[in-house]
Amino acid sequence: MDSPLNLPNFFIIGASKAGSTSLNYYLDQHPEIRMSDEKEPGFFQNNELYSKGLQWYSSTFFSGPAYPAMGEATASYLYYTLSAERLKQLPRQNQRFIVMLREPVKRTYSQYWHEVRKHESRYFSEALKDEDDLIKSDRHVIFEHPPKSIYLGRSLYFSHIDNYLKHFRREQLLIIFFENLKRNPDHVFNQIFEFLDIGNHPINTDLIHNYGENPLLQLRINKFKNSPIYRKFLRNVVPETIKAKLRNRKIRVISGKMEGTKEAYPKMRLRDQQFLKDFFKEDIQNLKMILTKKETEILPNWIK
């Protein structure tokens, strides 16, 4: 007979670049909470992993004893209809979801520089224009996996939460805010503990759990690697040792308290800021309409 499965009974499903990594480790301090052995398992959005089944998922990411609150944090679950449909197959008591949102303009810009660290070589305004055209041609792309719209699409919070509400009841979702986690962490933790039906417990928020890199340098490297002169001529003559350095260039620049963290990338151009504010305005207004009374007790300025 198979042993009982250790499965999460709550999920942090988003938003990306909105503090989910820190929240994962903060909650893991609570004696009644057990977060997955690996952050961001991505099981419910990855076809290959999902095909291995819940037994594999349980033994791989939740080995050991069960806790009253078992959690998984994969910040991209929010964006995919496929993830919602698969999560719907879990027992009803396992279907609780925490969504942490960040001011959408800042989230979008943070996502861009995160992608620059990997492969993005377009300027920010170019990337916005490309995605704006894509969404105008087919808005459904914001729900697709693999993702096609990670800057604009991932900041359309209402659209994604509304998509989840086609599969789950409103009381199964708790919406919290990144800005409140920075400025009023105890308030946010109390919201979460009440949602999970566990007791209060002090949480140490002194450390963030992500680090940044030198973004402008990485953007220049990406542009160089995508330039015609490199692709046509230099790629075959550049030594492998230099190529490895271009692939793996990582410079740690951020560490310290969450409250005092400063972004490590340049200021956004005013024109881009205004475009984003206009783009997200309707979505923010719709988001305000679905917030519960408790979720509106303390609101960040961007949604008031």
Contact between 254 and 208 under an 8 Å Cβ cutoff? The reply is: yes
Q: Each residue of 257-283: pLDDT tens digit? A: 333 345 568 899 999 999 999 999 999
| Closest C-alpha among 170, 172, 173, 141 to residue 156 | 141
pLDDT at residue 225 tops 60:
no
Q: Each residue of 4-49: pLDDT tens digit? A: 789 999 999 999 999 999 999 999 999 999 999 988 999 999 999 9
Q: Quick one: what percent of the chain has pLDDT higher than 70?
A: 80
Does 5 or 298 have the greater pLDDT score? 298
C-alpha dihedral sign at 55, 57, 62, 64: positive
Q: Each residue of 107-151: pLDDT tens digit? A: 999 999 999 988 899 999 999 999 999 999 999 999 998 898 999
Contact between 169 and 176 under an 8 Å Cβ cutoff? The reply is: no
> pLDDT class for 156, splitting at 50, 70, 90?
very high
Average of per-residue pLDDT values in the chain: 86
pLDDT score at 234:
53
> pLDDT class for 206, splitting at 50, 70, 90?
confident
Q: What is the Cα–Cα distance from 163 to 242, expressed in whole angstroms?
A: 46
Which residue ranges form the domains of the chain, and what is each CATH number? 10-212+255-303 (3.40.50.300), 215-247 (no CATH)
pLDDT score at 258:
39
pLDDT score at 223:
53
pLDDT at residue 247 tops 80:
no
Contact between 77 and 14 under an 8 Å Cβ cutoff? The reply is: yes
Q: Buried b / exposed e across 121-145, counting CB within 10 Å, b at 16+?
A: bbebeebbeebeebbeeeeeebbee
Q: Each residue of 75-100: pLDDT tens digit? A: 999 999 999 999 999 999 999 999 99
